[in-house]
A = this chain, B = another copy of it.
Amino acid sequence: MDKRVATLAEAVRNIPDGASVMIGGFGNSGVPFGLVDALIDHGAKNLTIISNNAGAGDFGLGRLLKEGQVSKFVCSYPRSRGSVWFEKAYAAGEIALEIVPQGTLAERIRAAGAGLGGFLTPTGFGTRLAEGKETRVIDGKGYVFEAPLSADFALIRGEKGDRWGNLSYHGTARNFNPIMASAARHTIAEVRQLSEAPLDPESVVSPGIFVKSIVEYGVRP
């Protein structure tokens, strides 16, 4: 069992036009910048991107948007300082946006990875973001029904990894990466360091069973 691939380009080469792609990270922390750059070079278009933020500046998700590769964004907070390329595309009507409360986004991703058919969350009950959704009141508390959210691919970033695809993380760079790893049909992990030895089983946060390919990218943003 050896999931290592030699280059970032090789890791993303099977992502087709029209694919749905989860991308880990919160702000610039835990974003798989190496894989995102490779995806830009690869050139797949008409992508649906699922990621908490919509990039900032001319790099990472910002550059992916600038290059016009994204037709839909599923996200909780696309309006960070510097999210100019998203704002331009949105204002021009060139991109569809599905806005999801952050905890609901995380839980929908987890539900897909866990094989659940959906869940009831109190988040957003009575607000505009629950409009048109099934709701229920239990013991006086309102809940919104939310469906699982899966993707064709997930691009994630870990700290250390091994040939089995096991991953550990670094500080707040963990964020969406472990749940996205579980929710995509093909999860590609970039790690700061590929270890020859297996990771300590106690320190593994994402078991390798979720990971199809793993590639080293030593740069820390």
Contacts and interface: CB of A to CB of B under 8 A. Distances in A.
Interface residues of A, number: 22
Contact of A143 (B114, B117, B143): B117
Interface stretch (A1-9, A12-20, A84-92, A118-126): A118-126
A119 B116 contact: yes
A116 B122 CA distance: 7
Contacts of A201: 171
B117 A122 contact: yes
Interface in A25-41: none
A123 B103 CA distance: 25
Contact of A120 (B117, B136, B169): B117
Interface in A97-122: 107, 111, 114-122
Nearest to A144: B117
Copies in the complex: 2
A118 to B, nearest CB: 5
Contact of A138 (B117, B122, B169, B203): B117
A81 interface: no
Nearest to A115: B122
A196 to B, nearest CB: 21
A67 to B, nearest CB: 34
Interface of A: 107, 111, 114-122, 136, 138, 141, 143, 168-171, 201-203
24 contacts: A107-B114, A107-B116, A111-B119, A115-B121, A115-B122, A116-B119, A116-B120, A116-B143, A117-B119, A117-B121, A117-B136, A117-B138, A117-B141, A117-B143, A118-B120, A118-B138, A118-B143, A119-B119, A119-B120, A169-B202, A170-B202, A171-B201, A171-B202, A202-B203
